[in-house]
Amino acid sequence: MSSETSPWRATVLTLFPEMFPGPLGLSLAGRALASGLWQLEARDIRDSATDRHRSVDDTPAGGGPGMVLRADVLASAIDAADAGPDRPRLLMSPRGRPLTQARVVELANGPGPLIVCGRFEGVDQRVIEGRALTEISIGDYVLSGGEIAALALIDACVRLLPGVMGKQESGAEESFSAGLLEYPQYTRPQLFEGRAIPDVLVSGDHAKVAAWRKTEAEALTRARRPDLWERAQKHPKNTTDG
């Protein structure tokens, strides 16, 4: 895909379109949005309702608390918004597969997703199946709706688009890029509250700096994310002792 002829585009289906662009209108993402490096469209699911009350939900079949987004209304909203079969169709959901950096890279290299933001008790399963929605989770917790999760997903993708970050290598050495957490960072002053920058980082020896950073990344990953460390051990090129 050529970014000059077809910018990366995110289409969001939500009951609260006023939540967008929100933080995506600021900083790196905001400047890139204003300059046309990517596009954002927030569409109100209620626009596809067919009654005068613009109803989008109903009680769950089989009983239970809360309400469920109706299949017919949401399907109409998806059909009206989707611009082609090549765009991923995502549903932000706590029961979805975890969003990973590898998935973010894949999405950033595509045309841009259509994202459904769930609300209430969830979405009618028939529209998930009938419109081939892939459920994505940003963590093991429950939010009031999918909008905040969608903002996080879009931000993660946009920062990888060509021209968004000042230096492309900025994204090459951060957490998860090599299957590990990122190493600690330091800057001036040299001495802060009695704590000095590690000598190796001011030694000028680039090989020693690289080795130190790799060792620190491995130590942090082992301590904080044993799941990632176990996965990294299956790919020895990412570690010094694997």
Does 237 have pLDDT greater than 60? no
- CATH of residue 185's domain is 1.10.1270.20
Q: Which pLDDT value is given to residue 180? A: 93
Question: Is 166 a member of any domain?
Answer: no
Q: Which pLDDT value is given to residue 1? A: 46
Does 239 have pLDDT greater than 80? no
Q: For the chain, how long is the longest CA-to-CA vector?
A: 71
Question: Is 55 a member of any domain?
Answer: yes
- Shared domain for 15 and 104, answered yes or no, is yes
Question: Is 165 a member of any domain?
Answer: no
- Shared domain for 32 and 139, answered yes or no, is yes
- CATH of residue 37's domain is 3.40.1280.10
Question: Is 168 a member of any domain?
Answer: no
Q: Which pLDDT value is given to residue 175? A: 66
* Domain end (from 132, 158, 184): 158
* Domain end (from 158, 189, 224): 158
Question: Is 199 a member of any domain?
Answer: yes
Does 173 have pLDDT greater than 80? no
Indicate the average pLDDT of the chain: 92
* Domain end (from 158, 185, 213): 158
- Shared domain for 178 and 152, answered yes or no, is no
DSSP state of 58: E
Question: Is 94 a member of any domain?
Answer: yes
- Shared domain for 141 and 49, answered yes or no, is yes
- Shared domain for 73 and 119, answered yes or no, is yes
- Shared domain for 130 and 30, answered yes or no, is yes
Q: Which pLDDT value is given to residue 172? A: 56
- Shared domain for 31 and 77, answered yes or no, is yes
Section 135-154 average pLDDT? 97
- Shared domain for 177 and 143, answered yes or no, is no
- Shared domain for 139 and 189, answered yes or no, is no
Q: Which pLDDT value is given to residue 11? A: 98
- Shared domain for 54 and 132, answered yes or no, is yes
Q: Which pLDDT value is given to residue 225? A: 95
Which of 32-36, 103-107, 163-167 has the lowest average pLDDT?
163-167
Q: Which domain holds residue 201?
A: 173-238
Section 46-53 average pLDDT? 94
Section 59-82 average pLDDT? 96
CA 17 to chain centre: 18
Q: Which pLDDT value is given to residue 5? A: 65
Local confidence band at 27 (pLDDT 50, 70, 90 cut-offs): very high
Local confidence band at 64 (pLDDT 50, 70, 90 cut-offs): very high
Q: Which pLDDT value is given to residue 171? A: 54
Task: List the beta strands (DSSP E) in the chain.
Answer: 8-14, 38-44, 57-58, 68-69, 89-98, 114-117, 134-137, 191-192, 195-196
Q: Which residue has the higher pLDDT, 119 or 83?
A: 119
- Shared domain for 154 and 207, answered yes or no, is no
Q: Let me know: does 134 contact 89? Beta carbons within 8 Å.
A: yes
pTM of the model: 0.89
Does 2 have pLDDT greater than 60? no
Q: Which pLDDT value is given to residue 83? A: 76
Give residue-wise pLDDT tens across range 122-143. 999 999 999 999 999 999 999 9
Residue 174 contacts by C-beta under 8 Å, 6 or more apart in sequence?
Answer: 182
- Shared domain for 150 and 185, answered yes or no, is no
Q: How many CB atoms lie within 10 A of CB 152?
A: 16
Q: How many domains are contained in the chain?
A: 2
